[in-house]
Amino acid sequence: MKDILYIVVPCYNEEEVLPETSRRLKEKLDSLMAAGTISEKSRILFVNDGSKDKTWPLIEGLHAQDPVFSGVDLSRNRGHQNALLAGLMTARDKCDMAISMDADLQDDVDAVDAMVDKYYAGCDIVYGVRSSRKKDTFFKRFTAEGFYRVMNFLGAETVFNHADYRLMSKRALEGLAEFKEVNLFLRGIVPMIGYTAGTVEYERGERFAGESKYPLKKMLSFAMEGITSLSTKPIRFITGLGFLIFLISIIMLITFVVKWALGMTVAGWASVICSVWAIGGLILLSLGVIGEYIGKIYLETKARPRFLIREVLDDE
Ligand code: UDP
Ligand code: MG
């Protein structure tokens, strides 16, 4: 049993962490190869996501020194999810299993052994799950937790505290290739693939060096994309909301008619203004939500390529 493992690492301006990451990953792969757990053809595949620093020359250098390092150079920056997909799709033809991992060593490299064990035990997908969020700021923990809650409430199946550290078998990768959506939210799509899944817990560390490429604004838009690409429930809520408001207005109408019949005066322009504003606001909000989905349809129908590859460095 010696299957080929590819570790896929998307990199955007990661020159500061690459030397250490490559060293640690090679160490891991060497030990697995020496133990006879994985094939000698296993590789560490760095995907350069249009970095502006020396990331790609570094990857070229690593590849020239040691064939265990492979590289994919994208035509430009396409974002984490697309870069990851480019790597996984490149690895698909060459590997039996692929592990996706961040470049900044936040994902514990030592969890690889357990993932590979689960793969041999019959799992097609193994999710890396954070055992705790102790190292996160309160704000990040709070927003992350809220996000998973909302996702589950909306009926999108996501694995709690799992980001993009996971193992996928060739079969699962082939399944992933069938999902053609331009707007990619991998951690929502992967559970849809099915097959046998397992989880491995790991302690998520701090970024080894450099800065997070996910500032708050990007994080929020990522969350929004995730929700609208996985669930249409918000549209249904609007229908419910409209129905509720209609009911309330009927009750109001009946009350006023009764009051009028009893000879009481029905007071106030203030209530009229309030309801006009309230309804106006709700209508705009609803249009906005529907607009999000229409925008999504617009982008999906164009079916633009999710990534373009400039160069692949990989020795068979
Ligand atoms: N990344 C990428 N393209 C981008 C942004 C990020 O390939 O446009 C990579 C980045 O190099 C890293 C991973 O995605 O390997 C996760 O990014 P980061 O660690 O900055 O995110 P955080 O851990 O702060 O959420
Ligand atoms: Mg990180």
Q: What is the 3-state secondary structure (H, E, C) of the chain?
A: CCECEEEEEEECCCCCCHHHHHHHHHHHHHHHHHCCCECCCCEEEEEECCCCCCHHHHHHHHHHHCCCEEEEEECCCCCHHHHHHHHHHHHHCCCCEEEECCCCCCCCCCHHHHHHHHHHCCCCEEEEEECCCCCCCHHHHHHHHHHHHHHHHCCCCCCCCEEEEEEEEHHHHHHHHCCCCCCCCHHHHHHHHCCCEEEEEECCCCCCCCCCCCCHHHHHHHHHHHHHHHCCHHHHHHHHHHHHHHHHHHHHHHHHHHHHHCCCCCCCCHHHHHHHHHHHHHHHHHHHHHHHHHHHHHHHHHCCCCCCEEEEECCC
Per-residue model confidence (pLDDT) at position 245: 84
Q: Residue 232's Cα: distance from chain center in Å?
A: 18
Q: How far apart are CA 192 and CA 217, in angstroms?
A: 27
pLDDT higher than 80, residue 316: no
- Find the Cα–Cα–Cα–Cα dihedral 146, 129, 185, 89, rounded to 10°: 170
pLDDT higher than 90, residue 266: no
The band of 171, judged by pLDDT with boundaries at 50, 70 and 90, is very high
pLDDT higher than 80, residue 238: yes
Report the separation in Å between the CA atom of 19 and the middle of ligand 1, taken as the mean of its atom positions: 16
Residue 273 structure tokens: 């203004």
Per-residue model confidence (pLDDT) at position 170: 94
pLDDT higher than 90, residue 161: no
End-to-end alpha carbon distance in the chain: 19
Residue nearest to atom 14 of ligand 1 (CA): 80
Report the separation in Å between the CA atom of 140 and the middle of ligand 1, taken as the mean of its atom positions: 16
Per-residue model confidence (pLDDT) at position 243: 81
The band of 101, judged by pLDDT with boundaries at 50, 70 and 90, is very high
In sequence order, which residues have a C-beta less than 8 Å from that of residue 309 and are 6 or more positions away?
72, 73, 74, 75, 86, 90
From 2.30.250.10, 3.90.230.10, 2.60.120.280, 3.90.550.10, which CATH number describes the 5-230+305-313 domain?
Answer: 3.90.550.10
The band of 236, judged by pLDDT with boundaries at 50, 70 and 90, is confident
The band of 1, judged by pLDDT with boundaries at 50, 70 and 90, is low
Residue 155 structure tokens: 């009926």
Residue ranges of domains in the chain: 5-230+305-313, 233-302
Predicted ipTM of the assembly: 0.93
pLDDT higher than 70, residue 106: yes
Residue nearest to atom 11 of ligand 1 (CA): 11
Per-residue model confidence (pLDDT) at position 11: 96
Ligand nearest to the CA of 213: 1
The band of 270, judged by pLDDT with boundaries at 50, 70 and 90, is low
Residues, Cβ < 5 Å to ion ligand 2: 102, 104, 106
Q: What is the pTM of this model?
A: 0.80
The band of 98, judged by pLDDT with boundaries at 50, 70 and 90, is very high
Contact status, residue 308 vs residue 82, Cβ threshold 8 Å = no
Please state the φ and ψ torsions of residue 6, each to the nearest 5 degrees.
-115, 130
**Closest C-alpha among 80, 64, 66 to residue 13:** 80
Ligand 1 mutation target, pool 13, 213, 221, 307, most atoms within 8 A of CB: 213
Q: What is the mean pLDDT of the chain?
A: 88
**108 vs 1, more confident:** 108
The response to whether residue 12 sits with its C-beta less than 6 Å from ligand 1 reads: yes
